[in-house]
A and B are shown apart, each in its own frame.
Chain A
Amino acid sequence: MDLLGLTIKNVSEKLKDGAFSCKELIKECLSIIKINDKKINAFLTLNEDGALKKADEFDNLIKNDKEIFKKKPLLGIPMGVKDLYTTRGIITTAGSKIIKDYNPPFNATVIRRLIDAGVIIVGKTNEDAWGHGSSGENTDYEPTKNPYDLSRVPGGSSSGSGAAVSYGACLVGTGTDTGSSVRLPAGYCNLVGLKPTYGRVSRYGVIAMASSFDSIGHMTKTVYDNAKVLEVTAGVDPYDGTTVPIRVDKYTKVLGQNIKGLKIGLPKEYFVEGLDNKINISIRESLKVFEKLGATIEEITLPHTDFAMAAYYILVPSEVSSNLSRYDGVRYGGPRELFGAEAKRRIMLGSYTLSSGYYDAYYLKAAKVRTLIKQDFENAFKKVDVLIAPTSPTLPFKIGEKVNNPLQMYLSDIFLCPTNLAGIPGLNVPSGFADGLPVGMQIIGSQFSEELLYKVAYLFEQETQHYKIRPQFKNG
C-alpha cells in the first residue's frame, strides 16, 4: 500500500471498495511511523493499541452496515493530533515538560466530532510547547525535522502534524493557528493548511494559548481533504461561547466551480524587501495560473501591516501570561520551574505589558491598532474577493538558525499574524518548489469565507498538482 501518495478521498473510496481494511491501513501507518519517525520526531505519543482496536471495530461496522460511510464521513481515516488538543485517555503534553504525564478525563469538542465522524487517532504530534513558536524548536522534547530536508525546520508551531502528514504517517493532522501555526508548517511541508475564521471551529478542550486569537485548523495533502474535515469540525459549540451561529457550508460541494471574474488583490506591503526573490518568483508564476483560470489581479494596500507584528507581540503574550497562570502544579502537572525558555519569555513579556503603568501604552494601544488592521482588510475586501500573499518571507530555514534570537523567530510570521489580528481565514496552498524546498502561498478571505477559499484553491491545485511531489528525506 502506498500510503505516502494517498489522500482522504482515495482512502475512503478504497475502504468502500474493500481494496483494504481499516486494520491493514492502520497497521501500514504504524509501520511507516516506526520506520521514519526516529529521523523526523513528528510524534510524542503513539496510540497504537487504541488505533488498532478502533480499526477492528470499524471493519465490523463496514461488514454489517452498508450506510456506514454516509453516517461516518471520515471512517477509518488515520489522524495525527497536535498535542495541544485534549484527548481522553491519551497523554496530552502541549509539547511541554510541565504537564508531561497529564492524562485528560475528557475530549476537546473537535476531537469528539472527528471521532464520531470515524477518524482513527494514530498519535499525538510534536509542537512548539504551548504553541509558542514558528519552527518546532521550542518543543520541550526533540525538535521535529522537515521531511523534505532533515537539516531544516518543518515550520511551527504545529510542526509534528505538518511533518507527519507530509511523510505519509497519517492523512490529516490537526493544528492550532494563533499567529501562523497551521499555515507555516503547511507552507514548509507542501500541504494544504487552514486557519479558519475565529469562532468557526470550537476551541473547547484545546489548551489555550491566546484566547482572542486561537483558531482551530488542520493540514491535509489536498484541498478536497481539507474541506471534508472542516465540514466535520466547523459549527457552534455550546461549550465555546465564541463559536458563531453562522451556517456551516458543504464545503466540498463548490469544488470545481469556475472562478471566472474573481478579483484577486495583492497586498503591496507583502511584496517588499526581505521577501526571498525565489518565493516572489514562485508566487508570480502561480498568479499566472489564476489569470488563466479567469481571475483578475490588482495591487491593493493594507496600510498598517508594518505595525501588525508589534501589536501581535503585545496582545498575544498578554493573553499567554494569563492562560499559563493556571499551571500551578496543584491539579495536574509539575511546578512552574519546568516551563521552557520561550514560555517564560512570553509570560514575562505579557506580565510586563499588562503591568501597572504600562497597560495603556502597550495593551490598550495594541488593541486599538488591532482595530485599524481589521479595517485595512475590510477596506481591501470592498475592492477584491480574496488576497494572495506568500506564506513565509523565506524558505524553510536551518534548524538552529534562529533559536538564539527570539525577535528574528517572531518575524517569521510577518505575513501570517495580521489575519489572526483581523479574525479572518487564511488557507495555505503549495505554490511550487525552490531549491527543492516547498513554497507556500496563502489565500486570504473575509470572515466566514472558507467556502470561497476552498473553491479558489481547488482549481489552482487541479492545474498545478504540487501536492504530488513527495518528501525525499534529504540530508537524512
Chain B
Amino acid sequence: MTVGPSRGRRYVMLLLLLCGFSIILFRLVTLQVLQAADLTAKADRQHQKTVTFEGARGMVLDRHGKVLAMNVEVPSVFGVPTSLESPATVARHLSPVLQIRSSELERKLRQDKSFVWLARKVEPEQGRRLEQLSLEGIGVVMEGRRFYPKGPLLAHVLGFSGMDGQGLEGLERRYDSHLHGEKRVTVLQRDALGRTVFPKGLAEQAPTPGHALTLTVDEVIQYIAEKELEEAVTHTHAKSGTIIVMEPQSGAILAMAVSPRFDPNVVAALTPDRWRNRALTDTYEPGSTMKAMVAAAALEEKVMMPDSMVFGENGQMVIANTTIHDHDKLGWMTFSEVIQKSSNIGAAKTGMALGEQRLYHYLQAFGFGQRTEIDLPGEVNGFLKAPKDWGRRSLASISMGQEIGVTPLQMVSAVATLANGGVMMKPYVVSEVRDQKGRLLREVRSQVKRRVVSPNTARIITTMLEGVVTNGTGTKAAIPGFRVAGKTGTAQKIDPRTGAYSSTQFVGSFVGYVPAESPRLAMIVVLDEPQGEAWGGAVAAPVFRRVGEQVLNYLGVSKDDTVKIALAMKDH
C-alpha cells in the first residue's frame, strides 16, 4: 500500500484550503470588524437619506380670533438624481412648470446624491401639474408655508419666519418655541433597483402642529392706526412714523403701527431697516412730551401746585452759559399754563425745583432708561444718564425732554401710567397660547409694575393735560364729544455731521389718553422728520384725533353729549 504521494497531496490540498480560508477570514475581519464603522456609514450614505419634516407652525390670531398668520400645506418638489437616466430631459420638462432655468435644474439633478430639493413651497397648481407629468425620479411632498393673509397689517409685530419654519423676526421669533411644530426625522431608503422608497403616506402623516397665539391687538384698530399713519407720513413727507394704542388699565397693546410698512409674505428683497419695529428699537429725544412726567413728579413731591406761579423770564433764560428759549415771550404763568403752553423755561424751573436725585428717581419710576419688558424682541433700554454724569445744564435739558432717549413704547407706557391713576402696567401683546386642540396652555394676565404717583396726582395732571388740548398746544388733538388729555412734543434732532441740534430735522409727537375721566385708550403718535411745519401739535395731534375718534366709535364708547335712547324692548 503506497500512501506517501497520496498523503502528500492531501496535505498540500489541506494547506491550500487553509491558506484560502485564512485569506477569506482575514478579509472578513478587516471588512466586518476593522472597517465596519466606516463602511456602514458609507453604505448608509449611498442608500439612506434623512429628511426632516416639521409640523405646521401655530396660527397667530387677533383678539377676536381673526387670522393674522397661519400655515398652509403646499407642494415642495424633490429629485432623486441617482435614479435618473436623462437628467437633461427631466430638467427640460420641469423648467416651465417650476419656472426655474433648465440648466439650473439639470445641475442639481446631476449631483451624486439620492435626494435634492428642486423647489420648496411652490403653488398648489404647480404641484398638480407635476403630478400629471409623473416624471420618473421626481416627487412632491407637502410642506407648511407661512401665510400672512392681511399682508402688511401688523407686520412689524408679527415678524416673519424662514423657509424651514424658524421664527426670524417679531413674534415669530419671540414665541418660536411655542409656534414651531413637532420635528419628525424620516430616513428614506433606496430599493434594490436604486429607487427611493418613501414610507407609505408620508405626505399624509403630518407631525403635530405648533401652538396658536392670541394677541391683544385688534385688527380693526391696527388698520385704523396704520391707515392714518400712512396718510400722515405721506402728507408730511416724514421719514418714518409710529403709532401705539394701549389699554391703560391692562397694558394690552391694541395697535402698534410703524411706517414704512412691509409685507411679511415677501421679505427676500428687503433690508432689516424695513422690518425693524421702530416702536421699541428706536430712541428719540422726546422734547416736550417729557414735561407731563416732570410735572407729575413735581405735583407728587408737592414742589408745584397747579396754581403755583412761575415766571417765564420773557422767553429767555441763561443756564450754564447757554440760553434756553421759549417760542413766546412768556411772563408770569400758573404751573398749569406752563404745561398748556409747553414752556421750556417753566419745565426747566420745575426740574430745578425737584433736584437731580428726585427727577432721576421719577424718570426711572416712569420706566425711562430701561426696557418695558414687552414680549417682543429687539427692545432697547433707551438712554438716561445717572445724575453723576449730568452736566450743569442736564437738569434743565432733561426736564424739557432733551439729553434723554426714549422709545415710543416707553413714552406711551409712562403716559398710560398717568391715565391709570398712577399705576404702571407692563405692556404685552400675547394674551393666550393654545395647543392644536384649542386647550389653553398659557393665559397672560395684566401685570402691575409699580405705583409711580398717587391717584390724586394722576387726577390733577389729567386736568392739566386736558388744558393742553382745550387751550394749549394740542388743540388739534381734540375729539368732539370726548375729554382728551395729552401733550405735544417737538424735538430737534441731533445732526450727525455737526453733533449739534439741527434746525431742519425734528421729531413731532403727541401722546395722550381718552376719555380723560375714564381712559379707554392711551396713544402715542410719533413722526420722524416731517417736512414743513414740524410742530407736534400741527403734525401729530391731528393724527391722534383721527385715530382716537374712529377707535372710540368702533369700540362703542359713548360721547359726553350722546343722547342715550332707551329702548324698552323687553317691556313690550
Partners in one complex: no
